[in-house]
A and B are shown apart, each in its own frame.
Chain A
């Protein structure tokens, strides 16, 4: 960062950049801070004050309330199970398939690629997917949420192109040393692909964490629902709270306490945010390809 020849123009440009980015960061972070502050506030304060970053008299009653039944714990456990096993499945399938497709000597490679691209453009839609899952006997199993969409065509193509850009010489020299196909993938290709694995692992993980729809469709048993199903319910209910009178019979449905709503949002978002710092270092690191002596 320590550059010597900054002209005035460059300095001004930098200043503008920093200001803009700082403002942008504040705009994105503030609502989140408000939600966190609101989850520690009392009901009265939430009706009175429009916006605040620090509650007047902090209380954890909202959190005590949502964790007083085992539902939240169970939903979190479900989310973690689906995310961990889902991401592992995604990566296993995507990486192996991408590597095979990146090999130019694969028979019928173009045919496979065309089939994959076809799925990117056309999909059967909700009802056919449901029927397939049902016929495979996956309903009410976590596999129903994990297996469909185990490989994202877009991610597959990006990873395949990355593999193709690895120097061919590496693989050749490994072969000369007596390495098998799997050995090349495991010992040479994957260690060189850490950044991309981290990136797509994160994409997949966040995707699983935020996915509520397939859980709703395929899991009838409400004990298996992940956190996001719950979260969405709260958000949707508070959006329609005043409209739709026929549905929200007030004697039926007590509108949620504002602070409880916010606490649920915090609980639903914070865990996946924690994943970022651990993967940060992989994003920052470049790909080391200096292993070939030209």
Chain B
């Protein structure tokens, strides 16, 4: 057995040398000719030099580690993605001694592309993936990815990963990828600060005050134009705000424990009903836009920017974007047009819905990384990406070219030409934000407020106990189940159905597979304890 492996590795080594000779230029396949098969032919993507060929190696610097990296691409303005010889990728390659081949996949098609990549059996070295994706879970269970849990402690930055999030991203208690951290307590309540001043309102601390603010914005002519042309809160067909607000009322975040320690879905709790009654009142009193169920979320910000509405429940950082648009529209000023606050305190105390704390994980494939030695090199590469220098480059670009440092804060260079924007596009998808914290954006009034809200939120967020559980039923029927509940909620709010109708919808949910889902989640929950 032993001899066989050395033989194979020798063969691979030989072919690696051959391809290196044949490839001549090493990296950056030119313009139109096909790139050397991204994530294909393992001989090319692996590099056995470091591992098991001590004999013919000079003690010089190691060969650059060949890494292909598949990330979701966001290219909202069609600038195109950075080429493999662009300045930032070169910077990363020098710092990490890697030969990096990026593979961008438009975010909207990422799941499809991931499925076929998994099916083809030839994976890139690294790929960003949703750890809850059924095909990824299958592939991981079948050994397509390295289990990296035991290794993390050996790496300076990766060792600092948050155990809760690690647990949330695990599959059957094992870790197949390093999560990309996101702010956990990200949500907030954004208000129009001018309107608050005009009406002499304070930040709403309780649900009653929250209601009063919406009521005042709707009826007391907050913009002082003498017309009844404003309303309280804007919501679109995206159901996020309802989910957030029902947690304020004490409804659990997706799943909650009942008295006997079993998990119950949020829509079967009495608190959920209370929240829906409040939403219905909001709708009946015209505090929320009537067309919320069909409004396109692409224009969600517009009514707020145009001064038709004064409350916005979403991620706190949207306050910055709203302020930015309003600065442009009504004239620049130092004072922010928006103010952002924590959730109001509800009957069950101060609660808010967290985000999951991560956005996808970076998984290391076994088809490209054959040995433990190589795995360690790849992990070193990922660890280095979390160094301050690399985080800065990935997040902000090159100093003096894409941003400037002012008093220790990052100030992006405004209105960059497209070519410079393109150099940074989607590269931040590689970052994990684990370990050292990098300098933040300049401390404008609104940025300070956002940071403050998100920091304080960490104490009041309500976790979802079922987060790490992998449900088969949900993988098959989740979409359908969610639709039943979301539709019923909308119908209840607009008065199409009453409590009996809501009960009927919940019964339908149970009979469509909801009961199996509950049973399965509880079984998994008991097993995981």
Contacts and interface: CB of A to CB of B under 8 A. Distances in A.
A72 interface: yes
A66 B77 contact: yes
Interface in A241-268: 241-243, 245-257, 260-261, 264
Given A223-B31, A239-B298, A246-B356, A65 B318 contact: no
B76 A234 contact: yes
B359 interface: yes
Interface stretch (B98-106, B141-149, B166-174, B334-342): B98-106
Contacts, number: 166
Contacts of A71: 78-80, 422
B13 interface: no
Interface string A200-235: 000000000000010011001111100001111110
A175 interface: no
B182 A221 contact: no
Interface stretch (B108-116, B281-289, B363-371, B492-500): B108-116
B76 A238 contact: yes
B75 A74 contact: no
B80 A237 contact: no
A282 to B, nearest CB: 34
Q: Bin chain A's interface residue count.
A: 35 or more
B329 A254 contact: no
Contacts of A127: 115-116, 119
Contact of B419 (A68, A237, A241, A242): A68
Interface stretch (B18-26, B221-229, B253-261, B299-307): B299-307
B218 interface: no
B74 A245 contact: no
B74 A253 contact: yes
A286 B55 CA distance: 79
B107 interface: yes
A238 to B, nearest CB: 5
B77 A260 contact: yes
Contacts of B32: 223-224
Nearest to B419: A69
A128 B202 CA distance: 61
A165 interface: no
B129 interface: no
A44 B328 contact: yes
Q: Is the interface of B mostly helix, strand, loop or mixed?
A: mixed
B238 A250 contact: no
A251 B317 contact: yes
B58 interface: no
Interface stretch (A16-24, A94-102, A134-142, A179-187): A134-142
A66 B418 CA distance: 8
Given A139-B37, A237-B108, A264 B329 contact: no
A52 interface: no
B45 to A, nearest CB: 13
Contacts of B186: 245
B107 A236 contact: yes
Contacts of B83: 223
B328 A43 contact: yes
B306 A47 contact: yes
Nearest to A244: B238
A221 B120 CA distance: 17
Contacts of B31: 223
A217 B80 contact: no
Contact of A217 (B73, B112, B329): B112
A126 B112 contact: yes
Contacts of B29: 221
B297 A240 contact: yes
A48 interface: yes
B355 A264 contact: no
A224 B40 CA distance: 18
A267 B402 CA distance: 29
A251 B431 CA distance: 13
A220 B238 contact: no
Contacts of A216: 105-106, 109, 112-113
A242 B359 contact: no
A130 interface: yes
Interface string B327-352: 01100000000000000000000000
B38 interface: yes
A74 B80 contact: yes
A47 B325 contact: yes
Contact of A221 (B34, B74, B112): B34
Given A217-B113, A242-B298, A253 B320 contact: no
Nearest to A65: B418
B217 interface: no
Contacts of B429: 252
B486 interface: no
Contacts of A213: 109, 112
Given A216-B106, A248-B74, 19 more contacts: A69-B418, A69-B422, A126-B115, A131-B119, A131-B120, A221-B34, A222-B104, A233-B106, A234-B78, A239-B296, A239-B298, A242-B238, A242-B240, A247-B107, A250-B317, A250-B320, A252-B74, A252-B429, A254-B76
17 contacts: A69-B419, A71-B422, A139-B34, A141-B34, A217-B112, A220-B35, A223-B32, A224-B32, A230-B75, A232-B108, A233-B108, A236-B108, A237-B74, A242-B236, A247-B107, A250-B318, A251-B441
Shortest beta-carbon contacts, A-B, top 3: A71-B80, A236-B108, A256-B76
